[in-house]
Structure 1
Amino acid sequence: MTERNPYAISFGRIPTQYISRDIIIDEITSAFNSDISEEQAFKITGIRGTGKTVTLTAIEKELSQSKDWIIVDLKPGAEFTNDLVAYLYTEVPFITSYIDANLNLSAFGIGLDLKKKSPAASLDLVLVELLNEIKKKKKRVLVAIDEVRKTDSLVDFIQEYQILIRKDLPIYLLVAGLYEDIEDIENTDGLTFFLRATKYEMTPLNIGVIKEDYKLTMGLSDDVAYKLAVMTKGYAFAYQAFGKYMWDSKSKEITPMVLAKADDALAQKVYDKIWSELPPKDKWYLSFIVQKDSMDASELLEITKKKHSDWSEPRRRLIEKGVIDGQVRGKIILKLPRFKEYVESKQF
């Protein structure tokens, strides 16, 4: 029987072989499990393919090993308070019993319509009551939202959440989303709490760790494993893509076919989407930027005959999209692996 490929390029699930963000996972789970919770909300951000969903899922998995936690996954476009109360009613037995005995939620499509009970006027008040009941049981609720984006319902929920934590109720929030989506929520009036919540960015994976992973998993030589690891630039999706196609090739060398297949996966799964969202001006600048892995900003301006004021906005967008690294002042460094080849394939 053929051994299954441990690498995967499907979004939304934990591959058999992956490099865990142990520090982020440990810090968030430790904060959530603390007897005195100083932080009850965290944000995970980054571009597509950096491991946000895998990290969020790993944190949920870690917490779910304790009977003290109730994990609730909500969709980004949900009616959050309604869906949270509905989940607690249908999935948590002691809450089901409590609602059936004490509350009439039929107006919200939740629970039983018993004539002896007065209908609940507000789901916000119902949620407070349920969380108080959960607190009596010494349990905690984690609300997790992947691919979070700004909606009216989300804004309402975060505002309500601020009230819930002031009431010292056992509810915790973990969201994951793209840079621009997280920032859009942060910049909304009245959501100061969300703005101040600790944010973790999915930074590149350690090249040395990737190299050792490739060596141990595929039996590659130190030299080949290092070359392959460097090609990924620490980008989590590229780590999976190169691993997958090297494994499939059964070769101990990096072949042109491995590169071609990895390029195709990067294009279809990530780069086509990024490219489609870039304005023509940014694409024009990239036609010059990709001529080198890195260059001085002054060199780019000299080549393009443009001023700093012309470049500032495209620079901001390209940093936000994760295309270039903005950490070194005055330097333009391509952040995405084999993006040079991708841009060149667009045939300016």
Structure 2
Amino acid sequence: MARTNDSPFRAGFGKTPPMLAGRDSILDDFSASLAEGTWSTERTMLIEGLRGVGKTVLLNALEDAARERGWLVVSETATPGFLDRITHGHLQRAIDQLDPPATRRLTGGGTAGVSITTETVSPRQYPTTLRDQLTTLANLLTPRGILITLDEINGATIDELADFAAEHQHAIRNDQEIAFVGAGLRNAIRDALSHRSLTFLRRSLRPPIDFLDYDDATDALRIPILDRGRTIGDAALDYAVRATQGYPFLAQLIGDLAWKQSPDQTEISLDDVKHAYRRARRTMGSNIHEPSLSDLSHTDRTVLAHMAADDGPTAVSDVREALGVTAQYLNVYRQRLIDAGMIVPAGRGMVDIAMPYLREYLRDHIVSDATVNRAMSRTSFPPPPALDEESSA
């Protein structure tokens, strides 16, 4: 008998799922780079994408790959002070563990009844700049290396990021075994890379991390269910996969909710999946759509509102006419929405909303802000199932 707390799915942000579907090539290339040497381009990587596509999860997996090879992993978030935390926290603790400083030494001894004398010895004073810390630690770790990861990269700590990039570049020039992987929202990373001091990071490998295709989404749902000892029929599995629209967060959320719906049953049924789908759509609104829309300007949201009135891709000329603006003016906001991952080009002169179920959310919440929604149509992925409104949630 299954129990609700047996769920193999991890629907929370940044939680590693039981199976990291669709990211094998990135993991394989990174693991190979740790063995190939300091010249490998995969040793400096930036992971960018929409909310919920698994950026932090992939970051966790890359860290695990480094640990498996015996590398030291320094994991940080790009909040103010991260450079000091890396330098005087993570790296200093690692140096002290690998080369503990003596605190006392013997100065005298004697026979029975005669006390032994010692004196306090000051700990070794290592240089505490980031450059010197990295050099000291790299030498202590040879032939292993250091992986530094930085999540949630943004423009708020641009000066620290620039200082870090300069020291990382110096380490690479000196053939030190040091790798770096950063992650963040697509528009936040692009804004950060526009800084003139981050030329080096602009050359980072930026592997594509986006929606899953149908087969990968199927594996992400089916394999954890079978591995945990339950089953799911073909119809229920197809419904669940189409409901995810290839969105990794939805794959974990729908899988988790369907698992918990009838925990005393061996098979996860179509009704279980339909119930999970309804609940997941509401969670998408509060956890994904609301935060994404809050990052946008009023004009950005107005553009989305007009796009949401269509059931498919929207002609840019129609939006321009509705807003009464010039093509040059509208193109600024079109590009901003593309950079933010909210819309995608959909053919000549056409754009479409990128996030699954954003159109439905915006239509339900079209208040004074004129925010609207549309799920991107992907020819490689079947359309989502119809939402059964008659059944209770």
Q: Is the 1:231–1:338 contact (alpha carbons within 8 Å) kept by the matching residues of 2?
A: no
Is residue 213 of structure 2 the alignment partner of residue 211 of structure 1?
A: no
Q: What secondary structure, in the 3-state scheme, does the structure 2 residue paired with 1:199 have?
A: coil
> Which of 31, 48, 60 is 1:45 aligned to?
48
Determine if contact 1:214/1:220 at 8 Å carries over to the other structure: no
**What percentage of aligned pairs have identical amino acids?**
22
Decide whether the 8 Å contact of 1:72 with 1:84 is kept in 2. no
Structure 2 counterpart of 1:52, one-letter code = K
* Deviation of the 1:57 alpha carbon: 0.6
Q: Does 1:258 align with 2:276?
A: yes
Counterpart mapping for 1:241-256 below 5 A: 241-250=253-262, 251-253=269-271
Q: Which has the larger radius of gyration?
A: 2
User: What residue is the counterpart of 1:324 in the other structure?
Assistant: 343
1:314–1:253 distance in 2 versus 1, CA, 3 Å: farther
Asked whether 1:149 is paired with 2:154, we answer: yes
Structure 2 residue corresponding to 1:339, chosen from 358, 367, 379: 358
Larger mean Cα displacement after TM superposition, 50-59 or 194-203: 194-203
1:133 matched to 2:139? The reply is yes
- The answer to whether residue 294 in structure 2 is matched with residue 276 in structure 1 is yes
Match of 2:331 in 1: 312
Instruction: Tell me which residue corresponds to 2:117.
Output: none
Residue in structure 2 matching 1:231, options 219, 223, 243: 243
Q: What's the offset of the Cα at 1:292?
A: 1.2
Are the counterparts in 2 of residues 144 and 173 from structure 1 also a CA contact under 8 Å? yes
Q: Does the 8 Å CA contact 2:138/2:145 hold for their aligned counterparts?
A: no
* Number of aligned residue pairs: 334
- Unaligned 5+ segments in structure 2 are 105-119, 263-268, 368-393
Asked if the contact 1:70/1:140 (under 8 Å) is kept, the reply is yes
- Does the 8 Å contact 2:147/2:179 carry over to 1? yes
Partner of 2:33: 31
1:287 matched residue in structure 2: 305
In the TM superposition, what whole-angstrom CA distance separates every residue of 1:228-261 from its partner, at most 9, and x where no partner exists?
3233221111222222223333441477643331
Between the aligned partners of 1:96 and 1:89, the Cα distance in structure 2 is: 10
Judged with a 3 Å threshold, the aligned counterparts in structure 2 of structure 1 residues 163 and 215 are, in CA distance, closer, same or farther, namely: closer
Give the TM-score, by structure 1 length.
0.84
Write the distance in 2 (CA, Å) between the matches of 1:321 and 1:247. 33
Mapped to 2, the partners of 1:45 and 1:21 lie a distance apart of 14
Matched, 1:178 2:178: no
Helix, strand or coil for the counterpart of 1:332? strand
Secondary structure, counterpart of 2:154 in structure 1: coil
Shift of 1:115: 5.0
The separation in 2 between residues aligned to 1:15 and 1:265, in whole angstroms, is: 18
Q: 1:147 is matched by which residue type in structure 2?
A: E
Matched with 1:158 is: 165
Equivalents in 2 of 1:10, 1:116: separation in Å? 43
Q: Give the SS at the match of 1:48.
A: coil
**Residue identity matched to 2:192:** I
Unpaired segments ≥5 residues, structure 1? 102-112
The letter for the 1-side match of 2:152 is E
SS of 1:278's equivalent?
coil
> CA separation in 2, counterparts of 1:296 and 1:74?
43
Change (3 A) 1:114 1:173: farther
